[in-house]
Amino acid sequence: MIPDTERTIFALASGARGARRAIVRLTGPRTAEVMAEVLQLPRDSGILATSHLTTQVCALRLPELAHPLPMRLLYWPDQRSYTGQPSAELHVIGSLPIVEALMARCAAAGAVMAERGEFTLRAFLSGKIDLSQAEAVLGVIEASSTDQLHTALQQLGGNLAPAIGPLKAQLLEVVAELEAGLDFVDEDIEFITQDSLISQLEQVHQALEDFSHRLITRSSSNLAPRVVLVGLPNSGKSSLFNAICGEAAAIVTDQPGTTRDFLQRRVRMGLVDVDLIDTAGWEELIETGPRAMAQDQLRACLRSAELAVLCIDSTQVSGCELLHQAWKRLQPLSPRWMVVATKLDLPAANVTAVQQLARELLGLETSGTAARQLADWEVSATSSVSHLGLEALSERIAQRLSVSSVSNDSVTLVHQTATRCRASLDCALEALVAASNAARISAGDEFVAAELRLALDSLATIIGEVHSDDILGEIFSKFCIGK
């Protein structure tokens, strides 16, 4: 349930411990009335009648103090504040008894203690920020590294609306033309041709797919980037996983399908902490069962990975039709890949053949984002037995993660926003495919328009124009009081 935005709220906006300065924040329609009860203002102040941001040194009037206490006031009298309501910040000496007395005085003057995230919620509801920017505020609060803080600040600056807004506008124009044609169906007026309709839908679909590939998750919590080991059964993934982790975490046998559940360990690669994940070997299965469920987990891990590592057995390179099939299925699930040749210690190892195979795989996708990212593929050769090449592999993975995080065409989001966006992007892409299919078979403009309305709703959800109270409750409940 969304709190009443017409009540005047207050909270401690600084740390709840002694310091040189503490900040108590106020916002709401009765902010000026509360300040008049709490502060001792100079006679000629006029601060409560101002129409613009004002800062002034004044004094606190607290029953617990024998004399007024000097403090600094910042006052936003109108909707130009962060919350879109009259707001104030009271900067006082950071003594906890004084801060507690000040907040008790605010409560006695008619203000109520703010709930978690209520200040940012009001900023969102007043249109000062969108939903992704509200999530970025939480990312700033929770950032535990410079990288996480940089990601949250980028998102707070608004890096979603410019990417999604033009596509949403293009679809709105298409829907308007379709619905105008429905209004004049008896007049035999064609507002948009079938070729133009299909072409525009393909353009938007491709743009959304490119956006999805450029989407990089940078968690605002203590989550490390995920690196997923992928390959055919018996390609050396689990042995490599054990060697990197320094423990026998994964079962290693010659029997295909041994790895059913994915395994995850936090490891250090170069200067980066990484969540390394071992997955089941890829298989094309029709029947249901544990092995099929393991394939579902493989695909899910790839969708959330920041880097996928394709492990190729350097002793079994010839006749790799199965690997080509796997690549066609798995490559679209993750935008960033690298290749590792395993089992370098065996006599039949052939790294050159693995490198050639990598070029062949690259040839399956010769244009677009994937080709640009895979063009500089260089195979890392490793042995899980002798540990040859493991240090170089770790350094290369750390470098790839670093490069991907600062890529000029990447869209870097905090974890919660990226998760929400991926779900909405999937819905939008599905609706666009359905609309294109309906247009190709001339199913009727009303069916195409209905699918496009679903796509528009999904795009609006990404940038926070469409939301539910449940989503807002989930997001803002994670905030601390005073933010």
Q: What is the pLDDT of residue 286?
A: 63
For the four alpha carbons of 11, 14, 17 and 22, in that order, the dihedral sign comes to negative
> Of 129, 164, 198, which residue is a domain's last?
129
Would 4 be classed as within a structural domain?
Answer: no
Report the chain (483 residues): mean pLDDT per 10 consecutive residues.
Answer: 85 83 93 88 69 84 82 88 92 90 92 90 87 83 72 78 84 86 63 84 87 60 76 89 80 50 82 85 74 83 86 81 84 84 90 84 52 58 89 86 53 72 86 91 87 89 69 72 78
Q: What is the pLDDT of residue 116?
A: 86
Q: Please tell me the distance from the alpha carbon of residue 478 to that of residue 153, in angstroms, as a whole number.
A: 18
Q: Which tokens in the block code for residue 42? A: 């100079």
Would 33 be classed as within a structural domain?
Answer: yes
CA distances from 269 to 48, 272, 397, 437 (A): 57, 5, 7, 46
Q: With helix as H, strand as E and coil as C, how does the chain read?
A: CCCCCCCCEEEECCCCCCEEEEEEEEECCCHHHHHHHHEECCCCCCHHHCCCCEEEEEEECCCCCCCCEEEEEEEECCCCCCCCCCEEEEEEEECHHHHHHHHHHHHHCCCEECCECHHHHHHHHCCCCCHHHHHHHHHHHHCCCHHHHHHHHHHHCCCCHHHHHHHHHHHHHHHHHHHHHHHCHHHCCCCCCHHHHHHHHHHHHHHHHHHHHHEEEECCCCCCCEEEEEECCCCCHHHHHHHHHCCCCCCCCCCCCCCCCCEEEEEEECCEEEEEEECCCCCCCCCCCHHHHHHHHHHHHHHCCCEEEEEEECCCCCCCHHHHHHHHHHHHHCCCEEEEEECCCCCCCCHHHHHHHHHHHHHCCCCHHHHHHHCCCCCEECCCCCCCCHHHHHHHHHHHHHHHHCCCCCEEEEHHHHHHHHHHHHHHHHHHHHHHHHHHCCCCHHHHHHHHHHHHHHHHHHCCCCCCHHHHHHHHCCCCECC
Would 286 be classed as within a structural domain?
Answer: yes
CA distances from 200 to 115, 161, 207 (A): 45, 20, 11
Virtual CA dihedral for 448, 160, 427, 223, nearest 10 degrees? 170
Q: Which tokens in the block code for residue 358? A: 């990598």
Q: Are residues 305 and 447 in the same domain?
A: yes
- The dihedrals phi and psi of 473, each to the nearest 5 degrees, come to -60, -40
> Of 83, 109, 129, which residue is a domain's last?
129
Q: Are residues 46 and 163 in the same domain?
A: no
CATH number at residue 103: 3.30.1360.120
Q: Please tell me the distance from the alpha carbon of residue 99 to that of residue 235, in angstroms, as a whole number.
A: 63
CATH number at residue 414: 3.40.50.300
Q: Please, is 238 exposed, middle or buried when counting C-beta atoms within 10 Å of its C-beta (0-12, 13-18, 19+)?
A: buried
Q: Which residue has the tokens 């490793």?
A: 382
Q: What is the pLDDT of residue 433?
A: 92
Q: Are residues 184 and 316 in the same domain?
A: yes
Q: What is the pLDDT of residue 117?
A: 87
Tell me if the pTM is above 0.85. Answer: no
Domain around 26:
9-129
Q: Are residues 27 and 175 in the same domain?
A: no
Q: Please tell me the distance from the alpha carbon of residue 39 to that of residue 33, in angstroms, as a whole number.
A: 10
Q: Are residues 303 and 360 in the same domain?
A: yes
Would 480 be classed as within a structural domain?
Answer: no
Q: Are residues 389 and 442 in the same domain?
A: yes
Tell me the one-letter amino acid at 86: P
Q: Are residues 325 and 306 in the same domain?
A: yes
Domain count, the chain: 2
Q: Are residues 153 and 86 in the same domain?
A: no
Q: What is the pLDDT of residue 395?
A: 87
Tell me if 38 sits within 8 A of 107, measured CB to CB: no
Would 172 be classed as within a structural domain?
Answer: yes
Packing angle of the helix pair 194-214, 415-440 (nearest 10 deg): 160
Determine the Cα angle at 354 with ends 352 and 356, to 5°: 70
Q: Are residues 229 and 122 in the same domain?
A: no
Q: Name residues whose C-beta falls within 8 Å of residue 256's C-beta, 6 or more positions apart in sequence.
A: 233, 234, 281, 283
Q: Are residues 43 and 175 in the same domain?
A: no
Q: What is the pLDDT of residue 91?
A: 94
Would 1 be classed as within a structural domain?
Answer: no
Q: Are residues 138 and 119 in the same domain?
A: no
Would 469 be classed as within a structural domain?
Answer: no
Tell me if 114 sits within 8 A of 6, measured CB to CB: no
- The dihedrals phi and psi of 149, each to the nearest 5 degrees, come to -65, -40
Q: What is the pLDDT of residue 34?
A: 92
Q: Are residues 97 and 194 in the same domain?
A: no
> Of 68, 94, 129, which residue is a domain's last?
129
